[in-house]
Amino acid sequence: MNVIETADLGKRYGKAWALRDCTLAIPEGRLAALVGPNGAGKSTLMNMAVGLTLPSTGTVTLLGGMSATAPAMLQDIAFMAQDAPLYKNLSVADMLHLTKNLNWRFDHARAKARLVDLGIPLKKKAGKLSGGQQAQVALTLALARRPRLLVLDEPLAALDPLARQDFMGTVMTAMADDGVSVLLSSHALADLERVADFVVVLGGGELRIAGDTDELLAEHRLLTGPASEADRLAGLLSPIQVKRAEAQAHLLVRTGGPASAPVPPGWEAHPVSLEELVLAYLRPTGIGSSSASFPRTELTEVTR
């Protein structure tokens, strides 16, 4: 089952497209990282996925084909915006009570116990908590609703490294214990590389690439070799990105083959990190498209 599936999805504000022609399928049970620069369309995609914004074109369905605006989705989806939406003048205990009254499927005892374990004072006003504590309270309120899909829009942006680690630890525990699927938007690629098993890259309001993280990393290679051969090799391989120095050139290619695929004589192949992969698709240079349909090339084609 796909927890989020879109077909030719687009959103236009006036004459400007925030997102267009997005066709995507995210399987259940994944932590899907949604990455891209500011203005790439990440929040637009998330808002349409949770029913806060209606598409201009195309469709989006959730949890195996249900409409994002269906009443049943209100209980099965939890959405946490970047600013950790809390009533700053209410105490943590009051926030628990209020959220319980607004949601029929809310595990009050579990939420309270978790906040106590985190050392978050229940009598303290939400606005007096640290940024990390506010994020934990908002996440606890979301998870206590026992959603099937958790959508997080830049939850790590204002957190220090320790708070980010604690926050992600909570998310991973919820996935393991409750089977929650997660879509998480973030710029923290180093954090995402450790936890994300699915990646979605948006750039300029378009889907650049999406898929299983391990599979995408396995089918991309960084070729390093003489700069004098870069143009010839680029013409054969249609690389995603080309970087040149005086003596050496680096070509990031999508091979579609195993890591042991032969490489051209005089060149070396190296694995790529998630950060290298994402940045290459966001800032492609050399020969290659900036759309989602970047070519695959068998390295054996250029070794004969």
Task: Tell me how far apart the alpha carbons of residues 96 and 7 are, in angstroms, rounded to a whole number.
Answer: 37
| Consecutive 10-residue averages of pLDDT for the chain (304 residues) | 96 94 96 93 93 94 86 84 82 93 88 91 92 90 92 85 87 91 89 90 94 92 88 82 86 71 81 91 56 41 39
What is the per-residue pLDDT for 287? Answer: 37
Within the chain, which residue ranges are assigned CATH 3.40.50.300?
2-214
Single out the residue of 227, 226, 211 nearest to residue 278, CA to CA: 211
What is the per-residue pLDDT for 299? Answer: 44
Single out the residue of 274, 205, 282, 188 nearest to residue 241, CA to CA: 282
What is the per-residue pLDDT for 257? Answer: 56
What is the per-residue pLDDT for 229? Answer: 84
Single out the residue of 219, 205, 215, 167 nearest to residue 188, CA to CA: 167
Single out the residue of 117, 111, 167 nearest to residue 141, CA to CA: 111
State pTM to two decimals. 0.85
Per the structure block, which two tokens stand in for 50? 């949770």
What is the per-residue pLDDT for 90? Answer: 94
CATH homologous superfamily of 2-214 equals: P-loop containing nucleotide triphosphate hydrolases (3.40.50.300)
